Each structure stands twice: as C-alpha cells, then as structure tokens.
Amino acid sequence: MSDGANIEVRFGLKAAFDDLVGKKLMNFASAASRHPDFARELPRFISEVRRMFTPDEMLTQLAQMTYGRNKENWDILDEDDPLCKSPAAAAEHIRQFMMIKELLTMAKLGTS
C-alpha cells in the first residue's frame, strides 16, 4: 500500500487518490464481486486507504471523482458511440463506486 504514499509525495494528493482509489480499489472491488479471496481482503484494503488519507481529503477527492464520473457518464451512455460501455456495465461501475465512496466516508467501519 505504500504506492499511494509514494505517488502522493511525487505527484500530489489528487494523483495518489486517483491511482489508489480510482484505479486500484475500483479494480479490487470489481474482482471482489466475482472472487471470494478478493472479497475477504476488501475490508483490509478499505481500512488501509482510510488510514492513508484524512476524512476531509477523502471527501474532497471523492466529490471531484463523482463530478468527473457524472460528466463521463454522458459519454459512456452515448448510444451513438459503438465503443461505449453497455448501460448495465456502466450501472455496475457506478454501483461499485458508490459502495466504495460509502465505505470510505462512514464514521466507523463495522466488523462482522
């Protein structure tokens, strides 16, 4: 998990958050929806991200990502674009992002 810290030092908070959450965590969550081993490790990944960034940093970066994703969705769902994602794939991606956003911003993570 030190990748995020190294990226933050070299390229700044936004780049570190985008890399760690926007790419790595989103890919991990996607894999977790299909593979039990990844699903078991997802809470640890979430906890590590929560440790690396302050609540204010996460809220700010997630708000920026949400805004960016909302703008992207106009392109993703453009039916005239033959390379666009299917509406079902786009909806699943948005659902996963919203789940991650909720887990990162909860006051306290539960254990079960």
Pick from 14, 84, 27: nearest CA to 53: 14
Domain segments of the chain: what residues? Answer: 2-105
pLDDT for 89 beyond 50: yes
100, with CB counted inside 10 A (0-12, 13-18, 19+), is buried
pLDDT attached to residue 48: 94
Q: pLDDT per residue over 59-85, tens digit each?
A: 999 999 886 655 555 444 445 444 456
